[in-house]
Structure 1
Amino acid sequence: MRYSVKGKVALVTGANRGIGKAIVDAFFAHGVEKVYLAVRNPESTQDLQAKYGDKVVALPVDVTDEASVKALAEHTRDVDILVNNAGIMKVVSPLSEDAESALQEEFNVNVFGLLRTAQAFADTLEANKGVLVQLNSIASMKTFGDMTTYCASKAAAYSVTQGLREKLGEKGVSVLSVHPGPIATDMGKSAGFDEAPGAETVAAGIVEALEAGDFHLFPDPMAKQIEAAYQSYADNIILGDLSV
């Protein structure tokens, strides 16, 4: 379903830096009316508040806390576009003694955080005929040894996103699954990707993908390599009708 962001109200988790911050900028550049900046520490959004004034509202949220997510949803019933961007990455070998704790932490944020957020906002998105944008990764399709636990969490998040596409779709809500490659954010740099494309590449791609009515977005050069190999499977299996 094609979707224009112009005149809409958006909420972006993890909006204070990196891809989240770039999404806020891209939304305003394309006519979004208001953006809720949903972050752990609202003071971390002061530069965005100075830039956009009363067009932004900073609100606290901890996606690992169900009550926090529900409280956020209660205060933002005018949301049309929900961007679930908050996520964490641990650089750890699957043979490390820290692998289990890393996996638990990443699942709590990257997977259960998605579930909590989607469930809390489902009624609002249905009422407003809105969209859910989920920041996944090429790591949902390809595992890299020292990012094994992160990749596992993103693979699970992608699986959940597919289920949300089906069930929210029945309510008239569109879902976009975003799969960037390495991006030059703080997270990307921590994994050694200093020369990667900027976050604005992902943000611009999201606006374009929503307008095109796409389910998958592979926004950057490395991601597009994955897309080229994955396209047939995505079209015939992920998006295909297997009931016939």
Structure 2
Amino acid sequence: MFDLSGKCAIVTGSTRGIGLAIAQALIALGAQVVISSESAADTARVAADLGMPGMACDVTDDAAQAALVDFALARCGRLDILVCNAGITGRPGTFADLAMDDYAQVMAINLRSQVVLCNLALPHIAAAPGGAGAAVLVASLAGLRGNGRINAYALAKAGVAQLARNLAVEWGPRGVRVNAVSPGFVATELSQPLLDNADFMARRMAMTPLRRPGTPAEIAGAVAFLASPAAGFVTGHNLVADGGTLISDGS
């Protein structure tokens, strides 16, 4: 039910953190994974470490995303799985203090890029031999709750979850499943400043029934499930992997 042998996947933002863990999980299930990030050096290093093809891609560049899909098809001969993971948080602050240039960049990387890449990739996934392809869009718990500090990010991630629902309706008749994953607070290199903040951690863990941050591997497991035959009847879903934060009243 979890065998991805013979499948080809693209994972954006896959040179560190959650994206790297996703790539490793799909590889462990037998998939060939195209490694990608905007850094050519990081992409080459991780691709070599994993023994996989890699191509640098700035997801704000539509032509670069088209080239990434073409690269995957040339290297694998098919495309079965797309994981849109690349994203940035942007500058923290309220909407009242929002710099519109930062807002534009956050929306471009976190939401618009996923629209473009899905439009480029899903026709090829639908045409793959054997069918049953899938896309998994990485959203966020921030898109499901009110947030006073990462407003543009939260807005973009809410859009990602809706994008998954819309694309599930659009592509379901052609055998392509589209789902989202919404991670909660995860221990990564980027979250290290928060992990080191004792006051923040005390507040946040009190709101989380499991009383700990998640790990990149745990988010990767959720993505791997949605990409695998085990989730063959799951589409348009937003799988929340947050240790229970969303459902907790903090008591």
Q: Does the pair score TM above 0.5? A: yes
**Is it true that 1:19 corresponds to 2:18 in the alignment?**
yes
Match of 1:199 in 2: 216
Aligned to 1:40, which of 23, 38, 41?
A: 38
TM-score by length of 1: 0.82
Question: Which ranges of structure 1 fall in alignment gaps of 5 or more residues?
Answer: 230-244
Structure 1 residues 1-244: aligned runs within 5 Å: 4-32=3-31, 34-53=32-51, 56-77=52-73, 78-95=78-95, 97-128=97-128, 129=131, 130-189=133-192, 192-193=194-195, 196-209=213-226, 210=228, 211-213=230-232, 214=234, 215-222=237-244, 225-226=245-246
What amino acid maps onto 1:212 in structure 2? A
Q: Give the conservation status (yes or no) of the 8 Å contact 1:85–1:134.
A: yes
TM-score by length of 2: 0.80
Match of 1:240 in 2: none
Question: Which ranges of structure 2 fall in alignment gaps of 5 or more residues?
Answer: 197-211
CA apart distance, 1:91: 4.0
Q: Give the conservation status (yes or no) of the 8 Å contact 1:12–1:85.
A: yes
For 2:94 and 2:218, the matched residues in 1 are separated by: 31
Q: Give the conservation status (yes or no) of the 8 Å contact 2:7–2:80.
A: yes
Q: Give the conservation status (yes or no) of the 8 Å contact 2:35–2:47.
A: no
Q: Give the conservation status (yes or no) of the 8 Å contact 2:141–2:242.
A: no
CA apart distance, 1:3: 6.9
What amino acid maps onto 2:64 in structure 1? S
> Between the two proteins, what is the percent identity of the paired residues?
27
Residue-by-residue CA offset, 1:133-167 (whole Å, 9 max, x unaligned): 10011111112111111101111222222111111
Residue-by-residue CA offset, 1:44-66 (whole Å, 9 max, x unaligned): 0355334332xx11112111111
CA apart distance, 1:179: 0.7
CA apart distance, 1:175: 1.0
CA apart distance, 1:124: 0.7
For 1:31 and 1:17, the matched residues in 2 are separated by: 20
For 1:40 and 1:69, the matched residues in 2 are separated by: 11
Match of 2:199 in 1: none
Distance change in 2, residues 1:74/1:47 (3 Å): closer
Q: How many residues align?
A: 222
